[in-house]
Structure 1
Amino acid sequence: MKYQGINLENVKLSNRSSILLLLNNSGAMSRKDIAETVGLTAASVTLICSELMEEGLIVELGEANEEKRAGRKKILVDINPGYRSVLCIAIESDVTYIAVTDMKGKVLCNTSLPTDKEIDPEEFFKNITDECQKLFWKNGIVKEKVLGAAVTIPGSVDRKNGVSLNSYNIWTESIPVASYIKKELGIPVVVENNLKAYAQTEIYFGLGRTVNNLFVLKWGPGVGASIIIDGKIYQGSNKMAAEIGHMIAIKDGRDCNCKRKGCLETYVSTKAIKQELKSVFGKNVDSVFNSELFDNPKASDIIDDKIDMLARNIRNVITMLDPKNVVLIGYMFEISGCVERFIKAYKQYDPLVSDDFFVRSTLSESIDHTEGLAVFLNEVLLTQN
């Protein structure tokens, strides 16, 4: 076989990514410590750091605080949060969140608007870009300093072409999302499935920085998941891995937007739950569906039934994947008492599970505004996919 040689440019990008990822995960470090950690020569690290500093991606922070010792003091470098900003657009079935973040996930400004499923998709995305322009103007965001936009949306996505193929509860046809956004804003656009975006955020800013094998479970308004193996998101051959909301929970059950019957989501989504609660509480269902949900015995019985169904199906998934932890995220897990009831229900099917197996995401409060940043970093700056 003919020897093809080494692509030096790819090696350089890989080394650059390794350094940026290390700084992202560990914070400020000296060049010497970076070299020892990533396994590069001090000269190589110094060269790459110099290039990154020239670009503005990293900055020097001054001398490290350490005990007195002979020789040159260590100078710390870190990712420059003010290098550029990233526009994050998270489209959920009921609300669309818009935020501008710095390079470390700090939200600089944000807004939201209802996800209008009744109007033409192109008109809806025009409404989104109008809101983005207003957000830039009100907060002094210079568009030339915006690195790009990341759009996250439920359902299957063609990342290469920036197309939402089927968002189920929003639109069933293919939508050229990236084209709509780029046409109005003139910046690079990355489009990703929202669950994979959650997982990517967990990898870069959450538990995934220290744990390589995770299962990320989101509950509310739908139910979905992502699988992280060896620090990377498992996609599947058709990019549809971990669509647990479309596991068949009931044979010949309710019709689902995915054209199948009996999918888990048709029973445990917030929409499905509210429909059952409505049969008991009528028009007052929204007043019941809050932090005091479990204080009402009738409502509690309905929710506990859904929790049991979800826990049973998750147990089957965990049997196959064997992750280190399950990360819980989403509106339903924010309801007081819901996490505890879910874990209790799960233990009925696996009494040997450890108490620390399920972990509430530390990113819950900000993830709707910041998930796009992780997607954009993964696509453009860090892994150079």
Structure 2
Amino acid sequence: MLTALRRRPRTHHFHSSNRNGEGVALSFIGSALMLDKLIYEPKELAYLEYEQWLTSEYEQLLAAQAAEPLISIDRARNIGVEREWELYSFFAREEVNAPEDIFIYVDDTGNIATFTEEERALIAVWERGDPYPLPHIEGHHMQLVSHNLDNLELAADPDNILLATSSAHLEHLHDGHYHNLTPEIYFELNMTHDERLERTLAYAHDNMTVSLREQLIYTGGVSSALFVTIGLIAEYYKLSQVPRPWKQKEKILLQKGISYAVMGSLLGGVGFVTREILNTAFDQLPDDLADAVFMEILALNSSFLAVTLTSACIKYLRDIRNGKTKADAQAELKRLAMVAAAEFIAFQALGIGFDFVSGMFAEALMPDPTGFFIVARAIYFVYRIFNNRELEKRSAVQCRELRINHLYQQANLYLEQKAYS
């Protein structure tokens, strides 16, 4: 009798949660919530504030320059060079932090060069009325003033100025005589100040915000850490009820931790890559076919769908390995796939404001004993009434928040199942 009891096959417990633990790593609790709210959005906000400030300062400077009276062609010629230095000084300011490659001039060999850090420091503190910051550098009018004597605006236009050394000014920009036209190649190499502004903003965006590579690393890391934490808590509860030496439990927890870390990184990466692929594809669509809000929500919910389906496939393989029949495992896989599809449709409809469609799919295909969707639709209905003017933009935010809350509930349910299994 004792032998028979010892040889009794182990009973396997299969939980039917549509998240199955792997879903806890789904990562807008992890990647979206923590990445967006704690890392990505603050950096984006800082950049947007910088962009607004820099654009405003730049436009004010241009407006002040445009308000100057142009009395004569000779005065306009000098004003054009002064404006060029003034704009260079603006971009050289420390708080602007412009990239080095916008500070160009023509050197003695006729090539485009960039000013050194020391030269940029002198330019940054220069003010109108002072001698030019670099005495060996002159301002060259690309469209010759002598050929446009009645065009005061052209003579005073800083975009018509190219800085050069004294030698290069004569030998290369005028080909040995000041009445010779500027060689065409220098028109291609010169840069307008609007282009300098664009390059400065792009440079700041790259430095102030999170790159795709960093986002992927953060997503995988956060998802992995979250999955390991939740998974090990659940495993600890299970092992605390088993009379085993603590050394054995430590070994099990270590093995489980490694498994959870890999799984969390995989699922977070799947969701992130799916969203980025879709966003890249949507960017290629014509503007009249791609509604920005709809595409953002579609990419967001598609990433959830990809992670959920990946989780379901992993569970299928695990169930087979743990002894579940192939037919039962396939039935469970099919059920989870249907739930994933229902969630995708429901949240997509909810995100763009189609409450009726969202509710229909949620109630028909997603059993919800917690009443989540009832509360969600009620909140969303009130939300629409008071925020109708910006409905589309705010629908995307609402969809994301509801997803996070839903996953949080699922995580709690999962922990409860693990604790009592």
TM-score interval (norm. to shorter) = under 0.3
Question: Looking at both structures, which has the greater relative contact order when contacts are Cα pairs under 8 Å and sequence separation is at least 6?
Answer: 2
TM-score by length of 2: 0.23
Higher strand share: 1
Structure possessing the higher radius of gyration over alpha carbons: 2
TM (norm. structure 1) is 0.25
Q: Which has the higher helix share?
A: 2
